[in-house]
């Protein structure tokens, strides 16, 4: 073998070794995603960011896309910071570019395109994804929000009293869709309760659940007194009207009944106040 070929072979071997070394372990990534909710709040953003970066090192294919998509579902819980949200959006964008998906049987966008659209519309991320399915997903979210802006409902509270959304015109209204079995829902209830107590003169929190009344009653027996109004959405009829496809989901209406903010996952107290500020909540 000539010296030139020997050098070329050595260079190729070195390149392969570097690539293998740089590639993250898919099993370790999967474990990291599965245990992400176990991370302390102050460490979770950094762990999420590292998972996003590790996924990018994987070879293109469905395994990579599934991991990127799974991470996007968890990254929006709480307040990971804009850098982390953008990294997750970039990773999912990269995976979709490498492994484009076919539309659903009814022509709807494949689910990961919708996840990118949500990160952009509700979490402030940007994307370089240029795909008709992504455009369609964005348009669908806009249409859903238009429906939520016009929504009206009247539901029974835990005492059997009928409560309507229109009854609170003149106040800021926060509508939260939640369930007792949902960990992020349970986690944000304390913040919602504190906000509801402190600002009851300016606003009201309506917490809608489709669970059986006794299930809800039993859960509230183990928590401090809740100052929001818990409403029973039997059959999730109102949730469907609002196009809720994950819990928790939050909508904020200003004093004129105009929809001014929406969140697609658990929020922190700081994030809730940012949403409510758009409705004109006054500090006190």
Give me the DSSP letters along 253-276: E-TTS-EEEEESS---HHHHHHHH
Q: DSSP state, 208?
A: E
Long-range contacts of 142-149 (CB under 8 A, 24+ apart): 144/242, 144/243, 145/259, 145/262, 147/241, 147/242, 147/243, 148/241, 148/242, 148/243, 148/251, 148/259, 148/262, 149/258, 149/259
Shared domain for 128 and 158, answered yes or no, is no
What CATH number should be reported for the domain holding residue 227?
Answer: 3.40.30.10
Shared domain for 185 and 225, answered yes or no, is yes
Work out the end-to-end distance of the chain between its first and last CA atoms, rounded to an integer number of angstroms: 81
Residue 282: CB atoms within 10 A of its CB come to: 10
Shared domain for 166 and 181, answered yes or no, is yes
For the segment 152-181, what is each residue's pLDDT rounded down to a tens digit? Answer: 999 999 999 999 999 999 999 999 999 999
The answer to whether 213 touches 158, Cβ cutoff 8 Å, is yes
**Element at 252 (helix H, strand E):** strand 249-253
For the segment 255-276, what is each residue's pLDDT rounded down to a tens digit? Answer: 999 999 999 999 999 999 999 9
Shared domain for 196 and 156, answered yes or no, is yes
For the segment 96-140, what is each residue's pLDDT rounded down to a tens digit? Answer: 999 999 999 999 999 999 999 999 999 999 999 999 999 999 999
- Asked if residue 87 has pLDDT above 60, the reply is yes
Cβ contacts of residue 221 below 8 Å, gap of 6+? none
Give a yes or no: residue 283 inside a domain.
no
The answer to whether 81 touches 45, Cβ cutoff 8 Å, is yes
For residue 283, what pLDDT is reported? 87
Of 104, 121, 146, the one marking the end of a domain is: 146
Domain that holds residue 22: 3-146
Cβ contacts of residue 46 below 8 Å, gap of 6+? 84
For residue 11, what pLDDT is reported? 45
Of 146, 176, 204, the one marking the end of a domain is: 146
For the segment 48-82, what is each residue's pLDDT rounded down to a tens digit? Answer: 999 999 999 999 999 999 999 999 999 999 999 99
The answer to whether 247 touches 207, Cβ cutoff 8 Å, is no
Shared domain for 115 and 243, answered yes or no, is no
Residue whose C-alpha is closest to residue 124's, from 14, 2, 275? 275
Span of 187-196, 222-231, 266-275 with lowest mean pLDDT? 222-231
70 φ, ψ to 5°? -60, -40
């Amino acid at each position: 073998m000539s010296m030139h070929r020997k050098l070329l072979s050595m260079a190729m071997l070195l390149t392969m070794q570097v690539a293998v070394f740089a590639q993250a372990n898919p099993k370790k990534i999967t474990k990291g995603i599965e245990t992400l909710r176990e991370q302390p709040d102050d460490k979770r953003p950094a762990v999420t960011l590292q998972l996003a970066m590790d996924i990018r090192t994987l070879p293109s294919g469905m395994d990579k896309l599934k991991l990127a998509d799974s991470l996007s579902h968890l990254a929006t819980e709480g307040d990971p910071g804009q850098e982390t949200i953008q990294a997750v959006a970039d990773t999912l964008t990269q995976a979709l570019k490498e492994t484009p998906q076919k539309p659903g049987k009814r022509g709807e966008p494949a689910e990961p395109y919708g996840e990118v659209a949500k990160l952009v519309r509700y979490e402030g991320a940007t994307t370089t994804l240029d795909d008709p399915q992504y455009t369609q997903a964005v348009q669908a979210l806009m249409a859903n929000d238009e429906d939520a802006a016009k929504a009206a409902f009247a539901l029974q509270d835990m005492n059997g009293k009928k409560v309507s959304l229109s009854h609170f015109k003149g106040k800021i209204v926060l509508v939260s869709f939640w369930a007792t079995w949902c960990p992020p829902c349970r986690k944000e209830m304390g913040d919602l309760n504190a906000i509801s107590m402190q600002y009851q003169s300016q606003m009201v929190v309506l917490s809608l659940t489709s669970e059986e009344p006794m299930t809800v009653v039993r859960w509230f027996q183990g928590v401090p007194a809740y100052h929001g109004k818990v409403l029973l959405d039997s059959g999730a009829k109102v949730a469907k009207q609002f196009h809720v496809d994950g819990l928790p989901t939050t909508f904020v209406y200003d004093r004129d009944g105009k929809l001014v903010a929406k969140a697609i996952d658990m929020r922190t107290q700081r994030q809730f106040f940012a949403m409510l500020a758009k409705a004109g909540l006054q500090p006190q």
